[in-house]
């Protein structure tokens, strides 16, 4: 992970639950390393509906890598869903400093990892049912259901809270 690079960059800020760290439409988006707490990044579609793109708990990084690289406006909102301590990293530092071989490989590895996560998500959205996606989510993030309201999990899975409730009911009933 980016851990080694980001952990000690200073600039730790605290955010209360509900605080918005970044809004869609802003330029010059930053990278957020979560020391403590939990963030979500999400979009709001034309119908005003929220779609959670990712959760970030301790040790994770959230950022709109594409908008950083190309200096576009970001499409993502980022919000603290627990009281959180976050290291904010300017993108400039990231791309301009002299990189040694080791840092280069760390960054490549982190990007490759993220690409892998997204590939699996795309494939499962194309090929798996909501129930299968939920079960896969539970395996991948076993601790999140205790920290996150169900409607956010539904939003992450791309389904309605009602549908998730029904799925959970079915899973428990045929124990």
Partner DNA sequence: TTTATTTATTAATCTAGATTAATAAATAAA
Find the shortest distance in angstroms from Cβ 16 to its own copies: 27
Which residues in this chain contact its own copies in the complex, by CB under 8 A? 43, 45, 49, 51, 53, 64-66, 68-70, 75, 95, 98-99, 101, 104-105, 107-109, 111-116, 118-119, 121-123, 125-127, 158
Q: Which does 7 bind (CB under 5 to 8 A by kind): its own copies, DNA, none?
A: none
Find the shortest distance in angstroms from Cβ 148 to DNA: 8
Find the shortest distance in angstroms from Cβ 52 to DNA: 12
Kindly identify the residues of this chain, within the stretch 101-140, that bind DNA according to CB under 7 A: 129-131
- What b/e string do you get for 118-145 counting C-beta neighbours within 10 Å, with b at 16 or more? eeebeebeeeeebbebbeebeeeeeebe
Determine how many CB atoms are found less than 10 A away from the CB of residue 27.
9
Q: Decide: is 147 part of the binding site for DNA (CB under 7 A).
A: no
Taking the least distance from each CB to its own copies, the nearer of 81 and 154 is: 154
Determine how many CB atoms are found less than 10 A away from the CB of residue 24.
16
Nearest-angstrom CA–CA distance, 68 and 91: 7
Find the shortest distance in angstroms from Cβ 145 to DNA: 9
Nearest-angstrom CA–CA distance, 171 and 159: 16
Q: Which does 65 bind (CB under 5 to 8 A by kind): DNA, its own copies, none?
A: its own copies
């Amino acid at each position: 992970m980016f851990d080694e690079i980001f952990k000690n960059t200073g600039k730790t800020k605290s955010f209360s639950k509900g605080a918005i760290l970044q809004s869609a439409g802003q330029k010059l988006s930053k990278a957020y390393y979560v020391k403590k707490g939990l963030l979500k990044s999400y979009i709001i579609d034309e119908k005003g509906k929220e779609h959670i793109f990712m959760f970030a708990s301790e040790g994770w990084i959230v950022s709109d890598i594409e908008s950083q690289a190309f200096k576009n406006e970001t499409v993502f909102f980022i919000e603290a869903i627990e009281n959180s301590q976050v290291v904010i990293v300017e993108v400039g530092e990231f791309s301009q400093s002299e990189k040694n071989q080791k840092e280069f490989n760390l960054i490549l590895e982190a990007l490759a990892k993220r690409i892998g996560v997204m590939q699996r998500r795309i494939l499962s959205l194309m090929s798996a049912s909501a129930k299968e996606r939920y079960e896969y989510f539970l395996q991948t993030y076993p601790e999140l259901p205790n920290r996150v309201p169900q409607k956010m999990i539904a939003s992450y899975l791309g389904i309605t809270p009602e549908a998730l409730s029904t799925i959970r009911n079915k899973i428990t009933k045929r124990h």
